[in-house]
């Protein structure tokens, strides 16, 4: 039996994901590849929104608004609360991995973060402009002492942005700018852990002075890693007997989980920055966007409790893309308007 499977896998360039799913010991048979497809309890926040494979039922539509097409996308980063240098470096390495090459024009090995972003740059607006392939960090501000407290709301996050804009003297960057607010683990946010791990919207002139897209992602470490650092933490009801959580590629459950959420939000803000471009569903106050459609999917053969074919490094860390400075990340897949399916650069078929 084992030998037969080994033979089948050896002669088949593209092993069927269903075969891999039916065979939990797949990775021990295929010695040339580090791919494996662990079965995990689904993320309790996302199970209702998960779509497996392609679907004509997903009616992702364009609503005539702009996408983030100016190059590069200038991210103004706001660190709210206390963040360590190593945490900041990790998150910045991820963001800077989106552009295909670094300053020394070196590209990360395939499958890469930049290849993952190429699905986002397939989205264009009515002027024919595509989402930019290049992302830089144009400014940073640390709000170490929580200028607006440790209990934020969807509205008060704009006060945080307004304070950062003034203190850091961020330029009014209408052409290329967006804000990314990251809150430390002692900060609670309206709907955090219960409905969302991150969200994106745009600022209002009455609060910030002008309208620019922003995204927010929280550090879930103390509050809800099972919801927001999945699959590096899994729901407690599975503890004992069930499959365990996966090992994070950068050895930090909360940060590695945050990175996939940051990727999700950046992909959505780029393709739907003013919430009038690309989304599914009839309700613009609760749009289903290109990341929502693929939550919990990280590789070929995902769905039904499987996260899909991902890779494992020497230390046991689970990842599916390479980034700059030799980093590895696990990123959820994104909806491709071309394939009409969830897509990622580690696809096996
Ligand atoms: C730009 O968007 C169009 C429409 O989705 C797509 O066909 C094309 O491949 C995109 N171009 C790039 C460079 O991604």
Q: Are residues 52 and 138 in the same domain?
A: yes
Number of domains observed in the structure of the chain? 2
**Cβ-count burial 118-143 (b if 16+ within 10 Å, e if not):** bbbbbbbbeeeebbbbbbeebbbbbb
Q: Are residues 103 and 54 in the same domain?
A: yes
- Name which of 169, 101, 122, 100 is nearest 141 in CA terms: 169
* Cα(22)–Cα(37) distance, integer angstroms: 10
Q: Over 80: is that where the pLDDT of 10 sits?
A: no
> What average pLDDT does the segment 265-274 reach?
98
Predicted local confidence at residue 285, as pLDDT: 85
Is 303 within the bounds of a domain? yes
Distance 130 CA to ligand 1 centre (A): 6
Is 17 within the bounds of a domain? yes
Q: Ligand 1: does its nearest atom lie under 6 Å from the Cβ of 260?
A: no
- Name which of 93, 76, 99, 86 is nearest 182 in CA terms: 76
Handedness of CA 294, 289, 261, 244 (dihedral sign): negative
Q: Are residues 6 and 98 in the same domain?
A: no
Q: Over 70: is that where the pLDDT of 93 sits?
A: yes
- Name which of 333, 343, 344, 335 is nearest 281 in CA terms: 335
Q: Ligand 1: does its nearest atom lie under 6 Å from the Cβ of 119?
A: no
Is 349 within the bounds of a domain? no
> What average pLDDT does the segment 86-100 reach?
97
Q: Are residues 111 and 26 in the same domain?
A: no
Q: Are residues 92 and 168 in the same domain?
A: yes
* Cα(211)–Cα(294) distance, integer angstroms: 29
71, 117, 124, 270: residue to mutate for ligand 1 pocket, most atoms within 8 A of CB: 124
The residue nearest atom 2 of ligand 1, judged by CA position, is: 122
Q: Are residues 118 and 258 in the same domain?
A: yes
Distance 131 CA to ligand 1 centre (A): 9
What ligand 1 atom has the least distance to the C-alpha of 118?
Answer: 14
At 314-345, the pLDDT tens digits run: 999 999 999 999 999 999 999 999 999 999 99
Is 348 within the bounds of a domain? no
Q: Over 60: is that where the pLDDT of 171 sits?
A: yes
At 190-207, the pLDDT tens digits run: 999 999 999 999 999 999
Q: Are residues 19 and 132 in the same domain?
A: no
Q: Are residues 22 and 55 in the same domain?
A: no
Q: Are residues 154 and 130 in the same domain?
A: yes
- Bridge partners, 312 (sequence order): 318
What ligand 1 atom has the least distance to the C-alpha of 338?
Answer: 5
Predicted local confidence at residue 5, as pLDDT: 36
Predicted local confidence at residue 20, as pLDDT: 37
Distance 244 CA to ligand 1 centre (A): 40
Q: Are residues 13 and 63 in the same domain?
A: no
Handedness of CA 216, 105, 69, 271 (dihedral sign): negative
CA 344, 345, 347: angle at the middle one, nearest 5? 75
Look up the domain containing 290 and give its range.
38-343
The more confident residue out of 17 and 159 is: 159
Predicted local confidence at residue 271, as pLDDT: 98
Number of H helices, E strands in the chain: 9, 16
Predicted local confidence at residue 303, as pLDDT: 86
Q: Over 90: is that where the pLDDT of 346 sits?
A: yes
Q: Are residues 218 and 283 in the same domain?
A: yes
Distance 36 CA to ligand 1 centre (A): 31
The more confident residue out of 226 and 20 is: 226
pLDDT tier at 47 (50, 70, 90 boundaries)?
very low
Distance 119 CA to ligand 1 centre (A): 9
Predicted local confidence at residue 282, as pLDDT: 83
> What average pLDDT does the segment 261-274 reach?
98
Q: At what angle do helices 253-271 and 85-96 cross, to 10 degrees?
A: 40
- Name which of 148, 214, 215, 213 is nearest 187 in CA terms: 148
The more confident residue out of 306 and 157 is: 157
Q: Ligand 1: does its nearest atom lie under 6 Å from the Cβ of 70?
A: no
Type and span of the H or E element at 61: strand 60-62
* Cα(229)–Cα(212) distance, integer angstroms: 28
The residue nearest atom 3 of ligand 1, judged by CA position, is: 122
Q: What is the dihedral of CA 125, 130, 136, 142, to 10 degrees?
A: 20
> What average pLDDT does the segment 113-129 reach?
98
130, 334, 337, 340: residue to mutate for ligand 1 pocket, most atoms within 8 A of CB: 130
> Per mean pLDDT, which range of 76-80, 106-110, 157-161 is the poorest?
106-110
> What average pLDDT does the segment 90-113 reach?
91
Q: If DSSP codes are grouped into helix, strand and coil, which group holds residue 280?
A: strand
CB count, 10 Å around CB of 49? 14
> What average pLDDT does the segment 85-101 reach?
96
**What is the residue-averaged pLDDT of the chain?**
87
Q: Are residues 5 and 106 in the same domain?
A: no
- CA-CA distances (angstroms) from residue 262 to 92, 181, 214, 217? 11, 10, 12, 6
Predicted local confidence at residue 242, as pLDDT: 59
């Amino acid at each position: 039996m084992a030998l037969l499977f080994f033979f089948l896998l050896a002669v088949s360039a593209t092993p069927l994901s269903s075969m891999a799913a039916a065979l939990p010991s797949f990775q021990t048979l295929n010695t040339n590849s580090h791919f494996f497809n662990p079965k995990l309890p689904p993320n309790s926040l996302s199970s209702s929104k998960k779509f497996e494979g392609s679907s004509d039922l997903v009616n992702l539509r364009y609503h005539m608004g702009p996408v983030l097409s100016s190059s590069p996308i200038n991210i103004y980063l706001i660190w709210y609360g206390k963040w360590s240098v190593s945490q900041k470096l990790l998150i910045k390495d991820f963001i800077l991995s989106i552009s295909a090459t670094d300053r020394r024009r070196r590209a990360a090995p395939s499958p890469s973060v930049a290849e993952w972003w190429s699905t986002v740059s397939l989205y264009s607006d009515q002027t024919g402009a595509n989402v930019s392939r290049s992302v830089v960090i144009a400014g940073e501000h640390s709000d170490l002492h929580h200028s607006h407290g440790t209990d934020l709301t969807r509205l008060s996050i704009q006060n945080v942005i307004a304070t950062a804009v003034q203190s850091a003297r961020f330029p009014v960057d209408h052409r290329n700018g967006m804000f990314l607010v990251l809150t430390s683990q002692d900060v609670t946010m309206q709907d955090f852990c219960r409905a969302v791990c991150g969200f994106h919207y745009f600022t209002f002139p009455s609060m910030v002075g002008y309208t620019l897209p922003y995204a927010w992602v929280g550090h879930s470490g103390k509050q809800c890693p099972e919801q927001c650092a999945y699959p590096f933490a899994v729901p407690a009801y599975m503890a004992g007997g069930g499959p365990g959580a996966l090992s994070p590629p950068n050895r930090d459950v909360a940060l590695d989980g945050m990175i996939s959420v940051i990727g999700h939000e950046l992909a959505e803000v780029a393709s739907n920055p003013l919430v009038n471009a690309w989304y599914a569903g009839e309700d613009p106050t609760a749009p289903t966007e290109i990341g929502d459609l693929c939550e919990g999917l990280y590789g070929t053969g995902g769905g039904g409790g499987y996260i899909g074919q991902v890779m494992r490094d020497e230390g046991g860390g689970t990842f599916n893309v390479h980034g700059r400075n030799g980093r590895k990340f696990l990123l959820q897949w994104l909806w491709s308007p071309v394939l009409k399916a969830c897509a990622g650069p580690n696809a096996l078929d």
